[in-house]
A and B are shown apart, each in its own frame.
Chain A
């Protein structure tokens, strides 16, 4: 033997063990002595129902299929939450604690409880609450997730951007987009809970396309973008993927379950990655449906109009779109600055829609060049989506001055100028923008760029009633990036009058805003009339909201339609009270592009039903 030689046998050896007979036994008497389990013990579960969002990630990781998600009747259905809670079958549970380590909210934990006796098999299947399996207060907590055992990656893959100073010198798109590796990495963070799908106005099949990115199958990913869910009548498709991949308000990301403990998946950037990287974009949808022999006219080529055109074309209708401006795209073409949405991205989406046979007539103003009645006579149905094209004014003294202008016309002018299709807009040395929304940011950032090009320095001030950046309706990114580009912010001020001297705008007088909304969340601003300041400016831009232009609607038709606070009332299929007339987009619903796409989708379904079954 290497270490020790084999022991010799002894006659008394067995008897020596008898000396232990009076020693305290090391074994524990059960059930008389309750043994306290270790701090990390993996016993039965507890789940805090207030925190749990019903995402089902725990059920997905469970290696033994011990977890089922069960609908709970009285739980509220809110965005970012499902009315489901995990139910655990202790006949299957292997007590591995993976469910705890992956829980997206941290609501699920294990306890130090380990004794449970029952003759009833059902007593081993239960939905854990914060009271554990035995319904007691202060259940001793055992295994909990920590940094070492976490099974989620909580930080998103950072998006590369051109830095502040560099990007403020041009209108070139500053968000660079993900590389393949970055996109696959970001896609690998998704837990497929589909809370995002629920939140998205168009219910895009987000987990499906994210998974396709992770599998590096971009053709499939694009199919999910364009086709959506076929069983569900293509719900979930979005013909404006290149656009939405850049400028969508990404409500989905607010619902992402990963946002509970970390950073939401960069859904918008992933969508953009797909569209930017599939070379045969327009060949993805091969199937062309049978022509139904019916025609639909669409007024306005914004997101709602062109989406409706897309969905109708894929259903087999002949679609013609009428656009009063010289290029199609509406707000996407003329409102959003090119550093956020370059023309090429929009053109890609529109070219795809045209490839399906949709005819777009530009420079044709319905109501002027063609009466709406004519469209009604020549087409089987009409969809109007003319958007909010008029600006709103604060109405303070001095706004009638020519150097007090509206945001939308200015943005349109800038984009036309940059395309070489219009004159240079007036570029003031100093500018005040009134408004706290994204349109105000677009104006401020665009003018900052033009000022740098013209004078080499920025003097743009943004003032808003909202008193904090959080209160401002603009995206935080827009505010932060605007600040990096030299824009100065003056939140919490209300406009009093435009200061005009010698017939020239010199600035704007403001008063302190004490409150924007009342306790009922109604817009009800209050001011301190004594606290005032004046901001210097050669020009003032009002960006406090937009209004519709219904001048193309004949009076008799207007009388038949119902309006609610300036918007046209429709049913869920976007059908107005006039059967052949459907409406969508800003004039009905959505303040953003994805709402427009959803309107286009529902309108297309409504029109289809109307034309095939003559219903409603």
Chain B
């Protein structure tokens, strides 16, 4: 039998965003796979060099739709590092709350991802609608549900009111309660066990070799989490654990995400408790937003996204726009090299499982 070429692209319900894979298959087995981002090419990094420091705040969240706040935080922190700005304490706690809420929202989103891939649609509906409750919080806090444009260099844009704190508190209680149901529905589900266990395997050596981080790496037993290994904001002042597994398969990766939601809830509760009153931002430089300037310098900042290590390397020449910005998208290694190297040998129906549990985020890959 001859080799057949299959296009697995954005029109497929199991595909993630504007991404595609060209597969050469023999029977049910993938012989060769080529990742083709191909649909975005928006050149975020170059676009940033043409926009004022402040204007970029509207651009960067678009780099990763499920987790826009990571970009906002990285950008802001890089500016602050170059400009040596001390961010008010309250703003730092609020940022942690936002980032952990974003983590929960993104993890909840991965349940629909896996549900759609293996046919467990109840998990899709549950995940999406529960994620919406987090988006409600974002809407109250930032004025927008998805692209928040809330974390700015120097702090955050609006204060966290007692009313919003109550909303967060109640929502977390609700989600925590729901997690038990998720465990029954998804993780005790024999279909899920059959479809995810031992599938899309990645061992520790390979993960390290590719530069895979996040749950992809932690599922191989390496407890690498930037929040612990190079703590930022006030992560060193809160108590939380980094769940790991050794199986290295799709199931372990999804289950780790599930466990991480518990940890995020724990972190947010501590933040709400520890957060002091006070200012929520300081100006990055004198004058108005049209004339913000960041002093000469460069910085790399990295933070733990749901996909792993997310980083911004930024250079300022002291001008009104960034001189250079390079983004380390967390899902780049497993998406590009991983697909080409590790998909051959798997069955066609397992390809979306790799893509899903490896958290392919198309715009973040194809910047």
Contacts and interface: CB of A to CB of B under 8 A. Distances in A.
A237 B205 CA distance: 71
Interface in B265-309: 280-281, 283, 285-291, 293
Given A2-B259, A9-B189, A151-B54, 4 more contacts: A6-B255, A7-B187, A7-B188, A26-B129
Report the interface size class on chain B.
35 or more
B287 A188 contact: yes
A153 B154 CA distance: 15
B185 to A, nearest CB: 5
A14 B243 CA distance: 25
B90 to A, nearest CB: 11
Contacts of A95: 144, 147
A456 interface: no
Interface in B202-255: 223, 241-245, 247, 251-252, 255
Contact of A40 (B158, B185, B188, B191): B158
B136 interface: yes
5 contacts: A2-B245, A4-B259, A41-B139, A146-B158, A185-B287
Contacts of B144: 41-42, 95
A11 B287 contact: no
A148 B143 contact: no
B81 interface: no
Contact of A148 (B133, B159, B181): B159
A38 B243 CA distance: 35
B289 A142 contact: no
Given A1-B244, A151-B54, A63 B140 contact: no
A98 B58 contact: yes
Contacts of B280: 148
B185 A38 contact: no
A10 interface: yes
Given A14-B120, A151-B54, A9 B193 contact: yes
Contacts of A188: 285-288, 291, 293
B96 to A, nearest CB: 18
Contacts of A110: 143
Nearest to A104: B288
A287 interface: no
Contacts of B130: 26
B129 A27 contact: yes
B104 to A, nearest CB: 16
Nearest to A96: B58
A179 interface: no
B189 A14 contact: yes
Contact of B184 (A16, A148, A152): A16
Nearest to B59: A63
A13 B133 CA distance: 25
Interface stretch (A189-197, A421-429, A463-471, A480-488): A189-197
A214 interface: yes
A205 to B, nearest CB: 17
B57 interface: yes
A110 B139 CA distance: 14
Interface string A54-91: 00010011011000000000000000000000000000
A153 B223 CA distance: 46
- What are the 10 closest A-B residue pairs judged by CB atoms, nearest first? A188-B287, A151-B289, A63-B55, A40-B143, A63-B58, A42-B143, A96-B58, A9-B193, A13-B188, A10-B188
A34 to B, nearest CB: 15
B190 A10 contact: yes
B158 A94 contact: no
A11 B143 contact: no
B18 interface: no
A14 B192 CA distance: 10
A3 interface: yes
Contacts, number: 163
B290 A191 contact: yes
Interface string B9-22: 00000000000000
A1 B158 contact: no
The winner among B139, B243, B280, B288 for most chain A CB atoms within 10 A is B288
B188 A8 contact: yes
B143 A153 contact: no
B61 to A, nearest CB: 9
Nearest to A62: B55
Contacts of A64: 58
B54 A61 contact: yes
B142 interface: yes
Contacts of B192: 9
Given A57-B290, A63-B59, A191-B290, A38 B136 contact: yes
B291 A14 contact: no
Nearest to B142: A40
A95 B187 CA distance: 39
A291 interface: no
A174 B223 CA distance: 66
B281 A148 contact: yes
B188 A191 contact: no
B149 interface: yes
Contact of B157 (A2, A148, A192): A148
B149 A151 contact: no
Contacts of B255: 1, 6-7
A1 B183 CA distance: 15
Contacts of B251: 6
A41 B142 CA distance: 8
B155 to A, nearest CB: 8
B29 interface: no
B45 interface: no
Contacts of A214: 287, 291
The winner among B122, B141, B187, B242 for most chain A CB atoms within 10 A is B187
B122 A17 contact: yes
Interface in A361-402: none
Contacts of A4: 243, 259
Interface in B117-134: 120, 122, 125, 129-130, 132-133
Contacts of A101: 157, 289
Contacts of B291: 187-190, 214
B179 to A, nearest CB: 11
Contact of A102 (B188, B191, B285, B289): B289
A571 interface: no
B313 interface: no
A149 interface: yes
